[in-house]
Amino acid sequence: MTAALGIGVLGLGVVGRGVLDAVQHNGDAYASRCGRRLEVRAAAVRNVAARRELVPAMVISDDPMAVVERDDVQLVVELMGGEEPAAGCIEAALSAGKSVVTANKEVMAKHGPRLLALADQHDAELRYEASVGGGIPIIGVLQRDLQANDVSSIRAIINGTTNYMITAMSSDGASYDDALADAQRLGYAEADPTNDVDGIDAAYKLSILASLGFHAQVSPTQVHCEGIRALAARDFVHARDLGFAIRMLATARRTDDGLDLRVHPTLVPTSDPMAGVEGVLNAVAVSGDLIGTVVLEGPGAGAGATASAVVADILNVAGRLASGQPPRRLGQIDTSPALAPLADIRVRTYLRFEVPDRAGVLAELGAVFAAEGVSIASVLQTPHPERSDSADLIVTTHHCRDGAVDRVLANLKQSASVNELGVRLRIEDRRDHD
């Protein structure tokens, strides 16, 4: 067996501790699997005193770059999160010819193509399975197992926080505020939940998946992003009555006009596999010309799931180094992919309005929809839950350009027939992606 592989871990939070425990407790098994013993030789943490008590025999530092630069560290495992100093540490490690394993979706979404090219340049390896989907091995599937396919679409539920909240609002009738408070109490949501509830986290992950699936350089700024703050418990009741479930769906697909990249709450048919993904589970559906559609589902977060993906990447790197094989090279990518304007995307739409409870409202609204060429599929009027002089009007449309719905809503803002637009949700059918 070759010499031990020296590992430096940046961050000993919940996931970092899980990785450390796995490497220390399963040393013999891992060595037999990859042909090289793994040794965590140093770690970087914010609070040195607190962590030194947990791992007294290890070098502990509050300077992550010092760990990267150690001569006895050949593999850097970055688990700090955030953009900096994580991106700088990864860049320094790769520039020194050291391979890196990371779970950092923000860094990979914003800097992935550049860092992967840097790894190629210095005969190093950058692995990031844990950056999307936790324990779901979707990165490896896109990199290896589906390489023979021309991927046409990716549909995913890739944020456990919002999926947990949506499940609570749907199953228990919880309000947005109550669902968020419960998610925070259970540790599924941060004290500042912005990245999750506004879709930013999912946009990072979708840009990574789209970059791999379409062999293109996709930035998170190119993903249209909407959050779940406007959802009310009654929207889930209305959706169910219409034969749909609401899910925070991340969608990337090829169109004749370019890539359609979106993250937003979406109505999906109850028969769609995505409708059955509940709680903190994640799921990714990939459609390709040869495979058809394959769906992967599993835990998207948590120490165990994320540590599993990180350790698997470590073992893969260690095994490659032990065998003397060269790193996998970055293939050709489209650095300026065409993007389909959202206004031109044809979708169905769900709209909930608060309207005055008086005669003539439906006719007035119908005229605005007709003027923009938007065909109404269904209309449902229910009493407003709080105001006796108002009603909720739920309208669904047939397929039309998203921009036409924009114009309808702009016109209705000036109309006395609408008190307030409660929510706008797009409707997806998986058959549109197969």
pLDDT in tens, 32-51: 999 999 999 999 998 887 66
Catalytic residue, from 98, 105, 110, 205: name it. 205
- Three-state secondary structure call for residue 68: helix
Going by C-alpha positions, the residue among 11, 50, 281, 334 that lies closest to residue 167 is 281
CATH label, 138-299, candidates 3.40.630.10, 3.30.360.10, 3.40.50.1110, 3.30.565.10 = 3.30.360.10
Q: How far apart are CA 357 and CA 391, in angstroms?
A: 6
Report the share of the chain in percent with pLDDT over 70: 97
Between CA 433 and CA 77, with CA 136 as vertex, the angle to 5 degrees is: 130
**Tally of helices (H runs) and strands (E runs) in the chain:** 15, 17
- Which tops the pLDDT comparison, 352 or 135? 352
| Residue showing tokens 């669904």 | 396
Going by C-alpha positions, the residue among 385, 176, 384, 355 that lies closest to residue 265 is 176
| Residue showing tokens 């370019």 | 258
- Which tops the pLDDT comparison, 202 or 13? 202
| Residue showing tokens 């790197």 | 317
Burial class (CB in 10 A: 0-12, 13-18, 19+), 262: buried
Q: What angle separates helix 303-323 from helix 14-25, to the nearest 10 degrees?
A: 50
Report the share of the chain in percent with pLDDT over 90: 80
Give the pair of three-digit tokens for residue 89.
Answer: 């540490």
**Quick check: 262 pLDDT over 60?**
yes
pTM: predicted TM-score of the whole model, two decimal places: 0.94
Q: Would you call 205 a catalytic residue per the annotation? A: yes
Preceding omega of 85 cis (within 30 degrees of 0): yes
> Residue 92: pLDDT band by 50, 70, 90 thresholds?
very high
Domain-wise residue ranges, the chain:
2-134+303-323, 138-299, 343-432
Q: Are 293 and 287 in contact (CB under 8 A)?
A: yes
Q: For 211-215, 345-349, 430-434, which range has the lowest pLDDT when averaged over its residues? A: 430-434
Q: Highest mean pLDDT: which of 189-193, 347-351, 413-417?
A: 347-351
C-alpha pair distances (Å), 410 with each of 9, 345, 391, 418, 421: 52, 18, 20, 11, 10
CA dihedral 253, 155, 333, 118 (to 10 degrees): 150
> Residue 91: pLDDT band by 50, 70, 90 thresholds?
very high
Element (H, E) at 4: strand 2-10
Give the pair of three-digit tokens for residue 342.
Answer: 């959202």
Q: How far apart are CA 292 and CA 280, in angstroms?
A: 26
For the domain made up of 343-432, the CATH class stated in words is alpha beta
**b/e sequence 138-171, b meaning 16+ C-beta within 10 Å:** bbbbbeeebeebebbbbbbbbbbbbbbbbbbbbe
**Quick check: 434 pLDDT over 60?**
no
The topology (CATH level 3) of 2-134+303-323 is Rossmann fold (3.40.50)
Pairing between β-strand 400-401 and β-strand 126-127 as defined by DSSP bridges: unpaired
